[in-house]
Amino acid sequence: MIFSGMNSTKGFWARASQFAALFIAACIFLPAAFGQQSDSHKSGKLKTAAKEPVKKDVPMPFRIGETLNYEVAWATFSTAASVQLSVPERRELSGWGTWHFRATAHTESPVRTLFTIDDQFDSYTDAATLESRQFEMYLDELGRKQNQTFHFVAQGQPAPGGVPVVIVLPGTRDPLGALYALRSVDWPHTQELRAPLYDGRNLYELHAHMEAASDPVEIAAGKFSATKISLRLFQNSKEVSGTKFTAWLANDVARTPVLLEGELPLGTVHVELTSLPK
């Protein structure tokens, strides 16, 4: 991706804030999701299909009310933005039981004097299959506001009535729901996971690969032994150039995401947990 001038930096922060806010996650990727690949998506009305049998919820290491706060460093700015991840509730959505995840991102001084960014992302992720059911973006960037809601419907699943939908492959995640998935994976026994990912504009395939089962990390929140995971995005079987992430999940019961480092077209991003949740 090529950036230029003010618009390019705005685009960078839109992507940087989104992926910084969305890198944290917890769920079990279903094997069926990883075998699916596609290079396209489409929007429209989906014919109603017979609803699948109700599946049991998957136990998760996170909980309702969990709130995690992060500080973002970008390029030469040691304090560029703040990110908060939270789990506000469990709720029914169009007949599906879902987890509600929320991420907010705000630029901080001195970056804020140049680029005022106040974004919020909400994901409604199926409590049983961990597929994305709905993804919402509330963007407030450089004085311009834009709200979008995406209703995900997997091929062969029933569609909610009266709303436009995005038809996706089974197992598709939005960035926030997908990255929450990392936390509940049994990484010592799982080397790599893959899943389709749709961010509201582009369809990717996310590749998550365990680099180390016990890597020492020292950040503002403390010292941790963490699982080190590389994250890569692919389109049309080719890796997205200039966009790479590495995440560290603490080896605790909650598999708390403690650190993210990313390589983006306009500089590196370092996102670290500021304190442990109470």
- The CATH code of the domain that includes 219 is 2.40.360
Cβ within 8 Å of residue 126, ≥6 positions away: 96, 97, 98, 132, 133
Tokens of 54: 């109700």
pLDDT (average), residues 122-139: 90
For residue 29, what pLDDT is reported?
22
Residue 44 lies in a domain: no
Proportion of the chain above pLDDT 90, given as a percent: 34
Per-residue pLDDT tens over the stretch 56-112: 667 788 889 999 999 989 888 899 889 999 999 999 988 889 999 999 989 899 988
Give me the pLDDT at residue 55, please: 58
State the DSSP H helix or E strand holding residue 175, giving kind and residue range, or none if neither: helix 175-180
State percent of the chain over pLDDT 70: 79
Residue 167 has pLDDT above 60, yes or no: yes
**Residues of the domain holding 181:** 9-38+57-273
* pTM, to two decimals: 0.79
Classify residue 177: in a domain, yes or no: yes
Asked whether residue 164 is assigned to any structural domain, the reply reads: yes
pLDDT score recorded for residue 56 = 63
Which has more confidence, 124 or 23?
A: 124
Residue 100 near residue 120, CB atoms below 8 Å = no
pLDDT, position 163? 83
Judge whether 45 lies within some domain. Answer: no
Domain assignment of residue 61, yes or no? yes
Does a structural domain hold residue 48?
no
Q: Is 102 among the domain residues?
A: yes
Residue 208: pLDDT over 70? yes
* Count: domains in the chain: 1
Could you tell me if residue 163 is inside a domain?
Answer: yes
- CA atoms lying within 13 Å on the CB side of residue 78: 1
Three-state DSSP class for 239? strand
